[in-house]
Structure 1
Amino acid sequence: MKATLLTAAVGLCAAPYLAVANTVGSAEDLHAIAAQASPQRIQQDIETLVSFGTRHTLSDTTSDTRGIGAARRWIKAEFERISADCGGCIEVFFQSEVIEGEPRIPEPTEVVSVIAIQRGSTDPGRYVLMSGDIDSRVSDVMDATSDAPGANDNASGVAGTLEAARILSQYRFNGSIVYAALAGEEQGLFGGKILARHAQQQGWRLKAVLNNDMIGNIEGINGVINNTTARLFAEGTRMTESADDARLRRFTGGEVDSPSRNLARYIDQLADRYIDNLDTRVIYRLDRFRRGGHHRPFNDLGYPGIRIMETNENYHRQHQDIRTEDGIAYGDTLDGVDFDYAAKLTALNAVALASMAWAPNPPTDVTIEGAVSPDTTLRWQALDASQNPQLKGYKIYWRNTDAPQWEFSRWVGNVTHATLKNVVIDNYFFGVASVSHNGLESPVVFPGPAGAFGE
């Protein structure tokens, strides 16, 4: 693999924002955002992506009508159109690297993703990210010429990312939002690897990666048809944990309180509050059993990241040549996508991105004490006031150690420590969230390195 990162940014926000909201987001704004996700626009985008025939990473790059090149140019043009509609509020660029010598990319191939960044107004160095995968495939992962419509896997995720940009570009946020159409997923997660390295090299304070990979199917291979549930896959212990951190975690807990897990809990709560008829399930696993997705390269570098996807997969519609055998239709075609459902999961993403970008930064340097004591005390660093003018204060959370979601909370104000009297440290897990003046919260941060979201 050649480690040459080629990025070319255009449209660097020279024009003013044409926004309908300021940087003081509220619950009412989140309800309005959830209501705007359009099944019709998502359907149009998926149909356009399918019309390119195949989006295989090794497919044609010069045609205007077929192949990965045409697809990525169209996606970039769509992001640029969205940016033009908001007065240039989004920076849009291709991000590429030449990959070679890999099992699924044997010859030098430029892997090109489309990245769009909506800069925050008070804390532009803090990022949340939504992604979908451009590329598609059939049964033979090296077949770059056969029709591979990839309607659900993963035109649905790209269409959702475009739609989220259309919605959120109407607003201004404190933190920055990244919309990414990533390439090379089926050939080895290369688009994610390139962008994750870029985030690390540029010093992004990346607080959340929402990888949307298949958000349109409601008919499972198991016969279940359900449009009211979704899965949030979230790994436990950080890949980057040091030996010292692992020893500390052994004695203090944190195996189920990584930032990825608490990000998933956060989105699960948002689904309950803002998305009608959607119950999200937090899955305590990096991804499907022994499978992977584009959040993994970010997790590999220690960033909080989860996979958002449908609950009921249909393997006849994944990675299959288009055909009919024994009365079973195979292939990832348009008739396997429920556009209303894709809009519902898009709305969840948009709400999550907006909530985190409007909320203050998650608390930093959270510590806990209370061994051999009836009381539990948590401490944290005060947030930078210039970056977080929306900060009102902090809330402490705790739950029973076998509870999947936070159960109890207490508002403690704009302080840097608080004590829970007669709440014994041994019996619960604890965390701290920051809260805006309008009541929007950051994810809960578990004390110590196991739960830290970074600076």
Structure 2
Amino acid sequence: MASIRSLAFLCGAVHLTFAQEAYTFTPSSILIGSNGFVNWGAGAFPQASVGTPLVPQSTDLETLALLQQMDPNRIQSTIQTLVNFGTRHTASDTTSPTRGIGAARNWLLNEMTELAKPSNGAMNVSMPCYQQAASPAHGMPIAAQVCNVQVEIKGFVDANRTYVYTGHYDSRRLNNSDYTGDAPGADDNASAVAIALEMIRILAPAVSKSPPAATIIIAAVAGEEQGLYGSNFLAQTLKNASVNVQANFNDDIVGSGSNVPFSPQNQHTIRIFGAGTDYLTINSSIIKEIISTGYQDDTPSRHLGRYVQEVNAGASSVTEMDVALIYKPDRFFRGGDHESFLSVGFPAVRFTEPQEDFYHQHQDPRVQDGVTYGDEIEYVDFEYTARVGKVNLLSLWSIANAPATPSNFTYDTNIGFLADSLDTPPSYLENIIKLYWDVENDPLLAYYEVVWRPMASQQWTHMLNVGLSNTTIIPVSKDNAVFGLRAVGKDGKKSPATYALAVASQYFG
């Protein structure tokens, strides 16, 4: 690449030429894209004379050993304990030791405290609360205290860079204002809380010896069903404290891959929902550029989804899961706690099982006309939930030990474009792209890697090691591909990619 730069820009009048390769067109060939779907007639376009096909980053043996500790039996025990509280409606009883939201959060606080003990102080357990006013129209007929129960693990390299896992522990009935009747909430959402406790248990002894490079927060939040109260409280608290939250992984309804319409593949698939440009809080002119240049599928949240897809692919022999990235903020007319993070400008994704079971979600437990309803524990697959837990633990631990996502990734609009005067150098008129970025002072950083993909592909297809320089040239037209940049650590762990813009802009706005 150094020779290309010197030819093109030290000797501006030189015409660049690239090697021509023989190619035989085969009309009957059907190519499978990187997203696993057939690319009818798309071909292997665009071709590039630099870079290599992208290979998913591998996972170190220590991290794989952590994943193998995810215990389905403990997940079952946690879900059963939460179900036994009868209801966990946000406005339910707070004085009973055995029933209601109060008993549930006190148990979670005690459980997290016990699980965190092997961390030798590296895990800080807390239960921040606030008073939520009544909101009858949204399922809060009375005022109530909203409490999150959470563990924070401070990063030892960049403590302000933070990654947050959330799963809500409240539950509901068909009538969202009914805060006394049974609402077991096994799948929605004791399943995600069980994963949270397992991650705390597994990481506690590990972080006592080697804390993560960046900070991790694992939180069971309240009030999701009535208005995302707990997650909004957490996200806004972090925003007010100027915490650099680079990801929220929100799990909600992750307890079964066996729902109708059933396929055996469902038991080994987790969906990730990644929001588009509608949820960006950055300057409107930048959003307009993202859309006009074809980068609307390259929001930070969708890059998080791609990141989870890739790290999981490199460790799928252990997770035994596929990750389906869905280009939607959430399911049809639905929402969740990740929206609280999106609304304050933090990238966030939602993990949800591949096929939801509406007979056993938001339902009063009952048998009606021969049909059984209710979110009971017998409809949760603990082995499946454990596999989802492995994907979360892998993603959270890997991203918190990778370098930070690069910033100010831009491209030159004058190069690889039309001439603007008689004096425009011929080298500017090639079908190339010149990229720039900030070189960070990050002790984890080994080098930068440019990635790109055809416009129709969901996942990155090519990568190029560009060292620690702050610019490079790639002989691929801006029209035909999408470009990203990621940081690679000295241990091989990689950050999510950031997208290229024609203006100087921070990745997170």
**TM-score, normalized by the shorter chain, greater than 0.5:** yes
2:439 matches 1:406 = no
Query: What's the counterpart of residue 245 of structure 2?
Result: 206
* One-letter amino acid of the structure 1 residue matched with residue 338 of structure 2: H
Question: Which of 437, 440, 452 is the matching residue for 2:490?
Answer: 437
The corresponding residue for 2:302 is 261
Instruction: Name the SS for the 1:364 alignment partner.
Output: coil
Return the letter of the residue paired with 2:110. Answer: A
Pair 1:192 & 2:231 matched? yes
Deviation at 1:26, TM superposition (A): 5.7
> What SS class does the counterpart of residue 140 from structure 2 fall into?
coil
What residue is the counterpart of 1:416 in the other structure?
470
Moved more, 429-438 or 363-372: 363-372
Q: Bigger shift: 225-234 or 432-441? A: 225-234
Tell me by how many angstroms 1:423 deviates: 1.6
Q: Which one-letter code corresponds to 1:191 in the other structure?
A: G
**CA deviation profile, 1:177-197 (whole Å, cap 9, x unmatched):** 000101000001111111110
Whole-Å Cα distance in 2 between the matches of residues 154 and 342 of structure 1? 11
CA distance in 1, matches of 2:192, 2:504: 30
Which residue identity is paired with 1:375? Answer: I
Deviation at 1:168, TM superposition (A): 2.2
Distance in 2, matches of 1:414 and 1:438, equals 16
Q: Which residue of 1 aligns with 2:15?
A: none
Identify the residue that residue 196 of structure 2 maps to in structure 1. 161
Structure 1 position 264, deviation (Å): 0.3
- Residue identity in the other structure for 2:432: D
Shift in Å, 1:435: 0.4
**1:37-436 alignment to 2 at 5 Å?**
37-102=70-135, 103=137, 104-169=139-204, 170-171=206-207, 172-224=211-263, 226-237=266-277, 238-276=279-317, 277-369=320-412, 370-372=415-417, 373-384=430-441, 388-420=442-474, 422-436=475-489
Name the SS of the counterpart of 1:316 in structure 2: helix
In structure 2, relative to structure 1, the CA distance for the partners of 1:339 and 1:453 (3 Å cut) is farther
Q: How far has the Cα of 1:101 moved from its partner?
A: 4.2
Deviation track 1:264-302 (CA, whole Å, cap 9, x = no partner) reads: 011011221213431111011010011000000111111
Distance 2:92 2:153 in 1: 30
Displacement of 1:383 = 1.5
Given that 1:445 and 1:452 are in contact with CA atoms closer than 8 Å, whether structure 2 keeps it comes out as: no
Assess if the C-alpha contact under 8 Å between 1:304 and 1:453 holds in 2: no
- The answer as to whether partners of 1:257 and 1:450 remain within 8 angstroms in 2 is no
Q: In 2, Cα distance between the equivalents of 1:340 and 1:317?
A: 19
User: 3-state DSSP class of the match of 1:383?
Assistant: coil
- Partner SS, residue 381 of structure 1: coil
Equivalent position SS for 1:329: strand
Give the direction of change, closer, same or farther, for the CA distance of 1:417–1:29 in structure 2 (3 Å limit): farther
- Using a 3 Å threshold, how does the CA distance of structure 1 residues 224 and 316 change in structure 2: closer, same or farther? farther
Unaligned runs of at least 5 residues, structure 1: 1-24
User: Which amino acid is the alignment partner of residue 355 of structure 2?
Assistant: N
CA–CA separation in structure 1 for the residues paired with 2:433 and 2:447? 19
Cα deviations by residue, 1:383-409 (Å, 9 ceiling, x for unpaired): 23xxx3221011000000110100000
Q: Which amino acid is 1:117 matched to?
A: E
Give the 3 Å change call, closer, same or farther, for CA 450–250 of structure 1 in structure 2.
farther
Q: CA deviation at 1:219?
A: 2.5
- Displacement of 1:454 in angstroms is 2.9
CA contact (8 A) 1:259 1:452 kept: no
Q: 1:170-221 deviations in whole A, cap 9, x for unaligned?
A: 1321001000101000001111111110110011111110100011122324
Q: Distance in 2 between matches of 1:229 and 1:250?
A: 30
Q: Which moved more, 1:341-350 or 1:244-253?
A: 244-253
Question: 1:251 deviation in Å?
Answer: 3.2
Deviations 1:125-176 (A, max 9, x none): 0011111101011111111111111111100001101111222231321001
Secondary structure class of the residue paired with 2:128: strand
Q: Against the structure 1 CA distance between its residues 269 and 195, is the aligned structure 2 distance closer, same or farther, given a 3 Å change threshold? A: same
Specify the SS of the correspondent of 1:179. strand
RMSD across aligned positions (CA)? 1.8
Shift of 1:47: 1.1
* Contact 1:133–1:183, Cα closer than 8 Å, also in 2: yes
Aligned residues: 427
**1:241 to partner: Cα distance:** 3.6
Point out the more displaced range, 297-306 or 106-115: 106-115
TM (normalized to structure 1)? Answer: 0.90
Residue by residue over 1:246-270, the C-alpha shift from the partner in whole angstroms, topping out at 9 and shown as x without a partner, is 3322432321000000000110112
Whole-angstrom CA distance in 2 between matches of 1:80 and 1:87 = 11
The alpha-carbon deviation at position 235 of structure 1 amounts to 0.5
Superposition deviation, residue 451 in structure 1: 8.9
Structure 2 counterparts to residues 439-454 of structure 1, below 5 A: 439-448=492-501, 453-454=507-508
- Looking at structure 2, the residues matched to 450 and 53 of structure 1 have their Cα atoms a distance apart, in angstroms, of 53
Question: Percent identity, aligned pairs only?
Answer: 36
The answer to whether the Cα contact below 8 Å between 2:247 and 2:346 also exists between their aligned partners in 1 is yes
Distance 1:371 1:30 in 2: 43
Query: For 2:491 and 2:505, how far apart are their aligned partners in 1?
Result: 25
Deviates further, 276-285 or 405-414: 276-285
Amino acid in the other structure paired with 2:241 = Q
C-alpha distance in structure 1 between counterparts of 2:70 and 2:151, whole Å: 19
Aligned-partner Cα distance in 2 for 1:286–1:126 = 24
Instruction: Please say which structure displays the higher CA radius of gyration.
Output: 2
Shift of 1:425: 1.7
Q: Which moved more, 1:108-117 or 1:304-313?
A: 108-117
CA–CA separation in structure 2 for the residues paired with 1:362 and 1:429? 17
Are 1:39 and 1:342, in contact at CA under 8 Å, matched by a contact in 2? yes
Give 1:224 shift.
Answer: 4.5
The residue identity in structure 2 corresponding to 1:180 is A
Query: Kindly tell me: are residues 450 and 99 of structure 1, through their superposed partners in 2, closer, same or farther at Cα, counting changes over 3 Å?
Result: farther
Distance (Å, rounded) in 2 between the aligned partners of 1:88 and 1:116 = 11
Cα displacement string for residues 312-339 of structure 1 (whole angstroms, at most 9, x for unaligned residues)? 1100010111111232211111101100
- Give structure 2 stretches of 5+ with no counterpart: 1-57, 418-429
